Amino acid sequence: MTTSSSPAATDVAAQPSMADRLTGYACALLAIAIWGGWIVSTRHAVHGHLPPATVGWLRFVVPAVVLAPAWLKVGLWPRRESFIPFVLCFVGAGGLFFLTVATAMRFVPAADVGPLLPGTMPLIVAVVSVLVFHERLGSLRLFGFIFIALGVLTLGGRGLLYPEDGAWRGHLLLLTGAAMWACYTLAFRRTGMKATAIVGMVGLWSTIILTPVGLPGVVAAVQDGYGREVLIQLLVQGLLSGVVALVAFGIAIERLGSSRAAAFTGLVPALAAGIAVPVLGEHPDMAAVIGVIGTGIGVMLASGAFRRG
């Protein structure tokens, strides 16, 4: 037996190099920056001249085209054993998910979206994992989910105390979207398909379904002189969020591990709230600040990135 097969040597070999870590950090931050901008961009679009279905069509048409080589290898529909998991992926991250979230953004500021969407999704996944898959949570992860719940209750309580502004509708829709996204997260690996094939196929069928209502909105916006806004949404929604962020976060997972990469998503709520101040002129209130801080800390703890070993 050589010394290279000892546990200590194996652990050292498994450690990523400094170059790998730096690449992973850079890619994770790139993906987080895109997702924070995506929240603000979508909020701006649905409050402006583009309805949610139109923005959704722009979101999915790019990955459907760019990732066509990946989904063409699978076909228009997955194999029988992958059918149910793929349907859950489609419901959880496709056109229906986007319409739910985009409609919610008509009722709530961008600062509320981060805590209630990417912030709440890990909590829902954890609840399902414990109840269905009997997963055991460590103390740090448990504290993380408590922080997430605190952020959600703070924002939800504000919506109930001041129902006249209609924010409670957006909160309910965002929580629904988080539950849908949790379904996508849980079903993703069970499809047995590559990430590029899943994302491309979800984009394809979302584009097909949204075309009757989304494409006419694109044509009307261009005719009305909003072609520049359409191009911006095509860039932010389709290329950056739909393709670049996917690839970047995949590299981050490869270089850092899933737990440490997931910890970076805790920055999304704060980043979205910060971008919304100069871009949308939205200043978060105390409830939003507590929600952003609570879910940010919670996601980083719940990711498992700070476990020993």
- Count H helices and E strands in the chain, helices first: 16, 0
Q: Do residues 300 and 306 make contact, with C-beta atoms less than 8 angstroms apart?
A: yes
Q: Which residues contact 104 (CB under 8 A, 6 or more apart)?
A: 113, 169, 170, 171, 172, 173, 174, 177
**What is the CB neighbour count within 10 angstroms for residue 148?**
28
Tell me the residue type at 38.
Answer: W
CA distances from 252 to 22, 30, 246, 270 (A): 10, 10, 10, 20
Segments of the chain scoring below 50 in pLDDT: 1-13, 309
Residue 159: per-residue pLDDT: 61
Task: Give residue 120's region: left, alpha or beta (phi > 0; psi -120 to 50).
Answer: alpha
Q: Mention every residue, 6+ apart, whose C-beta is less than 8 A from residue 72.
A: none
Please, are residues 299 and 148 in contact by the beta-carbon 8 Å criterion?
yes
Residue 71 and residue 205 in contact, taking contact as beta carbons nearer than 8 Å:
no
Distance CA 180, CA 88 (A): 8
Q: Please tell me what DSSP assigns to residue 309.
A: -
The pair of structure tokens assigned to 5 is 């097969």
- The pLDDT of residue 164 is 60
pTM of the shown model: 0.81
> Which of 218, 109, 215, 244 has its CA nearest to residue 166?
109
Please state, in angstroms and as integers, the Cα–Cα distance from residue 83 to each residue in 77, 113, 192, 196, following that order.
8, 31, 10, 17
User: What digits encode the pLDDT tens for the residues 295-305?
Assistant: 888 877 876 66
Q: What is the pLDDT of residue 24?
A: 87
Give the span between the Cα atoms of 136 and 94, in whole angstroms.
30
Residue 251's H or E segment, with its range, is helix 245-256
* Per-residue pLDDT at 258: 66
- The pLDDT value recorded for residue 163 is 65
Amino acid code (one letter) for 122: P
